[in-house]
Amino acid sequence: MKPSLNPSALKEPRFLFFTGKGGVGKTSLACATAIRLADEGKKVLLISTDPASNLHDVLETELGPDIRKINKLPGLSAVNINPAAAAQAYRERVINPLKGLVDEAALKKTAEELSGACTTEIASFDAFARFVDEDKKASGFNHIIFDTAPSGHTLRLLELPAAWSEFALKNPSGATCLGPSSALNNSRDRYQRVLEALRNPEKTCFYLVSRADEHSLAEAARSGNEMIALGFSHQFLQINGVFKTSRKDDKLAMELEKQMQKRLKSIPESLQKLPRQEFPLLPYNLLGLERLRSLFDQNLQEKLISLEESKLEVHQSLPDLDALMEEICAGGNSHGLILTMGKGGVGKTLAASAIAVKLAERGHEVLLTTTDPAGHIGDFLGELDALPAGLETARIHPKEETQKYIAKIMARKGPGLDEEGRKLLLEDLQSPCTEEVAVFHAFSNAISQSHRKFVVIDTAPTGHSLLLLDTTGTYHKEIMRHIRLGADKVRTPLMALQDKSLTKILLVALPETTPMHEAAALQEDLRRAGVEPFAWIINQSLSMLSDLKDPVLVGRAGAEVAIIRNIREHLANRTFGIPFMTGDHLLPALLKKPHLEKAN
């Protein structure tokens, strides 16, 4: 096992990437590293590539698409890559050169092709690539640090340049959802330089951030291996939130410490080879420069802990998932669409799995599926000794759905084409945009089943879900624009999501300041699309427990109380809770089922 590294022993290259499962602390560690380097006299640029970025909350500074200096710390600047702004800038770069060369109909067609979520993805990469490729805006910085989206989204971002370059080479005169292939050709050389920089260990390193739990360590190992396959091999492991108790009379604290030490001794083999750093679980939220500095400063940690006021109010009650089941099944309801949504790492998959099992145990027919590229449904259900009758599981896997979609289109359109026509059709279908369309079709198919059974969908982290929602909205507008008669009989997926009698959106959040703000922002995005969340689920709540004694746990429980009160009184229509749990087998614990260890 690799020893923990002293940060001062590291010689960071110019580009530093922080990636990992949602909710593991990527933003905190990226910010703390940026502050440490700036304190050392370096000029540092901190960039968020997460569509659901909370960089402004952590740095307590308003940020936008332009580089802004952090006034309290000379040498540190930050910027959010805003996907919508990046997509608009990309569209303008593609369309403006065509004005005066093609007619209005052709311009309109190109604009429509550029309206999808796939354009947003490649535009975000294009904006990110400009910072890596020695863009003037990034000149003069000693270090550029990227706080990335959850693993699945980041891997998709890193795969895009190779995928689009290959497609543009094979289809140089074609058109895509990104406009003419020539638009890609103009950027291909830059994308190639970016890939070379990311693969150069003297220029770039990747920090795989994880918690000391089975699922996030497994995700770190998976994403690390996938990045190595893409040529990004200069990696470090950072384990965040490591807990050690000072109270031997606190049963939960002792169990939590024991569990973490067990996990630290059984890290996946691929991660064991990496240099490693560990960071402690702290009783305060990591917001603001001083608290972020404390991640690398034990003396400052002790000072801040001693300044924490005693938390008198540390316990509260919340309705549990059984109470949620009563509302979902009220009036004998036996079908509907249930989506768990939220930022990565907040417990969407655990909540979705528990809800699906509970519905099936009540005798209902249930489909449990996921749109998350890193889908962990199988991991949770594998903790059970048997699944209840009536529960069916599936996964909307982007690569698999793309292949099925291509086969379907070729079977439908191919027979009417000659050999050259089939070849051209297949080339068009190799576009990375096809994946967006394929996932949407699979998502729509799952929704259509909710009229006869319960369909529980564990959605991807917020950024991915908003892109899917964007595609759903675009499809809805396209259908309604072309419909002439019988519009009242048309039912699009967006209409299903807007139907309160059919659909229940459950926003899952942790009882912390930043996750609360992120869930509130997602709720506003949904409302702008005409979709009203049914309820919030507060996951891993310490304040739902009694008899806490460890000062770190008591401090964190006390900090939750005001946050949950704000959610209940000002944000949520309904609020339910899942208490803090330790152990490898969270789903059986939540369902209150004993887990029987399986024989090796």
Active site residues: 23, 25-28, 50, 514
Could you identify the residue written with the tokens 């009184």? 569
At residue 288, the 3 state secondary structure works out as coil
Rounded to whole angstroms, the Cα distance separating 581 from 573 reads 25
Phi (first) and psi of residue 208, to 5 degrees: -85, 110
H or E element in which residue 276 lies: strand 276-280
Could you identify the residue written with the tokens 């960089």? 55
Within 13 Å of residue 508, how many CA atoms lie on the same side as its CB?
29
580, 541 Cβ separation under 8 angstroms: yes
Q: Hey, CA dihedral for 35, 36, 39, 41, is it positive or negative?
A: negative
Of 396, 542, 536, 546, the C-alpha closest to 471 is 396
What residues contact 464, with CB distance under 8 A and at least 6 apart?
51, 152, 153, 371, 372, 373
What residues contact 277, with CB distance under 8 A and at least 6 apart?
4, 5, 7, 236, 237, 238, 239
Supply the DSSP string of 298-367, one letter for each residue: HHHHHHHHHHSPP-S--------HHHHHHHHTGGG---EEEEEE-STTSSHHHHHHHHHHHHHHTT--EE
Helix axes 117-132, 462-482, angle to 10 degrees: 140
Rounded to whole angstroms, the Cα distance separating 31 from 214 reads 25
Within 13 Å of residue 541, how many CA atoms lie on the same side as its CB?
29
